[in-house]
Amino acid sequence: MSRFDLSLLEHAPRVPGKPRHKTREVRVGDRVIGGQNPVAVQSMTTSDTFDVEATVKQIHALEEAGCELVRVTVPKPEDAGALSAIKGRIGIPLICDIHFDYKMALAALDHPVDKIRINPGNINKANDPTHDRFRQVVRKAKSRGIPMRIGVNAGSLERDLCEKYGFPCPPAMVESALRYIEVAESEGYHDIIVSLKSSDVLVAVEAYRLFAQLADYPTHIGITEAGKPPYAVTKSAAGLAPILLDGIGDTIRISLLGDPVPEIAAAYDILQATQRRVRRPELIACPTCGRLAIDLEKIIAELEQRLSGRRLPVKISVLGCVVNGPGEAREADIGIAAGNGKGMVYRNGEEVRRVDEKDIVEALMEEVARWESENAGKIAAANPTRPGELEGLGRRKLPVVAG
Amino acid sequence: MSRFDLSLLEHAPRVPGKPRHKTREVRVGDRVIGGQNPVAVQSMTTSDTFDVEATVKQIHALEEAGCELVRVTVPKPEDAGALSAIKGRIGIPLICDIHFDYKMALAALDHPVDKIRINPGNINKANDPTHDRFRQVVRKAKSRGIPMRIGVNAGSLERDLCEKYGFPCPPAMVESALRYIEVAESEGYHDIIVSLKSSDVLVAVEAYRLFAQLADYPTHIGITEAGKPPYAVTKSAAGLAPILLDGIGDTIRISLLGDPVPEIAAAYDILQATQRRVRRPELIACPTCGRLAIDLEKIIAELEQRLSGRRLPVKISVLGCVVNGPGEAREADIGIAAGNGKGMVYRNGEEVRRVDEKDIVEALMEEVARWESENAGKIAAANPTRPGELEGLGRRKLPVVAG
């Protein structure tokens, strides 16, 4: 008899991970955000939007990196005037970003945009209980069939909510979002995506969790003002992983200072690590320690180079020690547990052969080719450019391993 | 009246963040792990331990980077023989890492180590219900007054638990840890720290959460086989932030393939982002977008360079736009909201002066000096090398900001 309550363990879920939070679907161009659709990766240009050449060039670079939706700022009439030309030359949905001036929102909606992002807290006239300016934008978006992101930001919350809650805390942010959702709903408009951003990880995590308890609109997740990599990527992962593991988040943007292209890889890395969108080979390498018996760094580098750009949701473990090696290697789709110049190759948890150290990379690549030929369905499901992508493909019941 | 249940918001905590999970204190050399002591940052050498020069050199580099505890592998008698010489030349507690051979554990405990790490799953003789080998190690550690980490790893779980639960899932890992805790307790030994590692983020998060529900022993947290940066750091942040935000985790190691020194910065970044250990200036920079009205990258780069190495838990926001600028700048200890060649300087939420763009860095550095002179207590508390460090210094009630 244990002094611990083992019944808690016996009743605990064995396959970890929460289901995706149920949200309604919102169509953005030819993509659908929310529901069971893949968490969409987006970014934002840094060019002057009216500079069509520069903006299109940056969007093409983002598309190349895997960006699935792109946002451009529209502060002036000439920026709105450029939207049609930009839209005609890019392959992904175009989002216009509006601040302060509701007239710019109305102007932008005359152009072929796929979504509009506004922060109602800075669009409305102060102390207007009718929210007339916001209503005008909602009505026009509705008549044009264009969805809207209501982008609440801790830094620009309405004064009455700051006073009610004392400071821009998570419940104040959520009440702000719900307030504008209700105004929009009163206009019969439901094509809404919500963000609740803060530069404070704890505030953002709590705001998204609270919102998900109260509403079923899809969410755009991100940490504002994260700064420069590498800290900004670590901070974004720290802030978004707790949300994603709770099943929350339908579209993601990583805010980095500087070139937006690295935002895309960072977003996919976070989705990969949280298994919300497994696209790449997951290479598991043993942490280095004095136990290392083969040149693991060289093997990993060569393997990474040969697998670079391959969109295969396969889990490969390369372990250079005999300690955790056999167990961990068996947990992967393909594994090597190596030591003393030899490698044991595992496939789906079963040892299939032994090879010399110099042949390890080649043996693993042969296994990858075999896995690829046997998993066409999985691979197609992991790499759609349209809705329907499956999530968490890496997750499966694992074989029993020895102690 | 709202259609939403706003009472949930009105009753929600306003200051986000969970309290630290209550754990017992375990002394490791001159440091205390658990309780309200700072989450300690550790790493592991990659040298042959018997090579004293190489090992000491690596430990000194780790200490320089801020490493607070160091682990060395002890696979052979000559490695155990080097422990005394290593211990005499380093300034931080020394942990010996033992695998497979309980006799090596007994040998290592003859030397002046501050903690021993074993994986009972690979120390015990298979099918020995008395756990005799593990007991021998516990008895010797007890007689020598040395604490122990029980390091459970999903890759090397006991066969009976894999059979009971079907595969190496979180409850199986936790039951393994509790089994050995009970054996140790039956010997009157309680100087225990526990780790529950997996290369799968979802498995690790769930295992640590389950364990914290059942036991009050401090935990060593980490994600095994995370691989190479930058993905390995993102994966570690994604796996450890959910645990840290739940208040779990008393000592942390980030496993990176290659040189261990970068593990230290990665660990502090994760603790900083989750506000479990705020040591550095937190520089908040606006994400770039077309709204950018000053050369923010240049300002941030200069500021980072001038603040480099400064251990001040101060939150500085530098925002190059007039949109989120004023609100966000007021949330920080020191802030600049800039646009059109001018910057508004904020101190504790109040605008204190306006400067030209070229004078922004200088103005911020003057504010930093002022903040430093007024916050000696906070600064001392954030940078102890001994127990007693406060957590979450960045957290305070924020002023009301305008919408």
- Across chain B, mean pLDDT equals 87
Sorted by sequence, the CB contacts under 8 Å of residue A149 that are 6+ apart come out as: A95, A115, A116, A117, A118, A192, A193, A194, A195, A220
- Helix boundaries (H) for B187-260: 201-214, 231-245
- Residues B52-94 have pLDDT tens digits of 999 999 999 999 999 999 999 999 999 999 999 999 999 999 9
Distance from CA of B219 to the nearest CA of A (A): 17
pLDDT for B154: 83
pLDDT for B121: 80
A150: which strand partners?
A118, A194
ipTM of the complex: 0.86
Which of B275, B13, B382 minimizes the C-alpha distance to A238? B275
List chain A residues with CB under 8 Å of B272: 231, 235
pLDDT for A167: 76
Distance from CA of A174 to the nearest CA of B (A): 8
Task: Answer whether A203 touches B (CB < 8 Å).
Answer: yes
Report d(CA B390, CA B263) in Å as an integer: 23
Mutate which of B272, B291, B400 to disrupt the A interface (most A C-beta within 10 Å)?
B400
Q: Residue B314 half-sphere exposure, CB side, CA atoms within 13 Å?
A: 28
Task: Answer whether A228 touches B (CB < 8 Å).
Answer: yes
Report d(CA B317, CA B337) in Å as an integer: 8
User: Is B216 in a helix, a strand, or coil?
Assistant: coil
Query: How many other C-beta atoms lie within 10 A of the C-beta of residue A128?
Result: 11
User: What's the token pair of residue B277?
Assistant: 């250990």
List chain B residues with CB under 8 Å of A403: 121-122, 126, 156-162
Identity of the amino acid at B320: G
Q: Please report which confidence band the pLDDT of residue B396 belongs to, taking 50, 70 and 90 as the band edges.
A: very low
User: How many residues appear in chain B?
Assistant: 403
Interface touch B284/A166, C-beta < 8 Å: no
What is the signed CA dihedral for B395, B397, B401, B403, rounded to 10 degrees? 80
Interface touch B99/A291, C-beta < 8 Å: yes
- Residues B359-371 have pLDDT tens digits of 999 999 999 999 9
pLDDT for A242: 98
Report d(CA B332, CA B349) in Å as an integer: 7
Query: How many beta-carbon pairs under 8 angstroms link A with B?
Result: 393
Interface touch A290/B49, C-beta < 8 Å: yes
Distance from CA of B324 to the nearest CA of A (A): 6
Sorted by sequence, the CB contacts under 8 Å of residue B254 that are 6+ apart come out as: B43, B222, B223, B226, B232, B233, B236, B240, B263, B266, B267, B270
Report d(CA A18, CA B237) in Å as an integer: 19
User: What's the token pair of residue B4?
Assistant: 């939403």
User: What's the token pair of residue B289?
Assistant: 């977008």
Listed by start position, the domains of chain A span: 26-273, 282-381
List chain B residues with CB under 8 Å of A6: 175, 178
Report d(CA A68, CA A65) in Å as an integer: 9
Of B224, B269, B292, which is closest to A324 when you measure between CB atoms? Answer: B224
List chain A residues with CB under 8 Å of B260: 288
Instruction: Give the residue from chain B lying closest to A71, CA to CA.
Output: B289
Backbone angles phi, psi at B262, to 5 degrees: -65, -15
pLDDT in 10s for each residue of chain A, 403 residues:
688 989 999 999 888 889 999 999 999 999 999 999 999 999 999 999 999 999 999 999 999 999 999 999 999 999 999 999 999 999 999 999 998 899 999 999 999 999 999 998 888 777 788 899 999 999 999 999 999 999 998 877 888 888 888 777 899 999 999 999 999 999 999 999 999 998 889 999 999 999 999 999 999 999 986 678 999 999 999 999 999 999 999 999 999 988 999 999 999 999 999 989 988 888 776 544 445 556 777 888 888 889 887 888 888 888 766 555 566 666 688 988 877 778 888 888 788 989 998 899 999 999 999 999 999 887 876 665 433 344 443 333 333 332 2
Which of B279, B115, B75, B129 minimizes the C-alpha distance to B195? B115
- Residue A388 DSSP symbol: -
Of B16, B44, B257, which is closest to A203 when you measure between CB atoms? Answer: B16
B53 sits in which H/E element = helix B52-65
List chain A residues with CB under 8 Å of B399: 167
Task: Answer whether B17 touches A (CB < 8 Å).
Answer: yes
Domain A282-381 sits in CATH 3.40.50.261: no
The CATH H-level (homologous superfamily) assignment of domain A26-273 is Dihydropteroate synthase-like (3.20.20.20)
What is the residue whose two structure tokens read 């609440």?
A: A152
User: What's the token pair of residue A85?
Assistant: 């030309």
What pTM was computed for the model?
0.87
Q: Which of B165-169, B218-222, B331-335 has the highest mean pLDDT?
A: B218-222
Q: Burial-class residue B277 by CB neighbours within 10 Å (0-12, 13-18, 19+).
A: buried
The answer to whether B23 and B216 are in contact (CB under 8 A) is yes
Of A75, A240, A323, which is closest to B122 when you measure between CB atoms? Answer: A323
Of B169, B326, B401, which is closest to A15 when you measure between CB atoms? Answer: B169
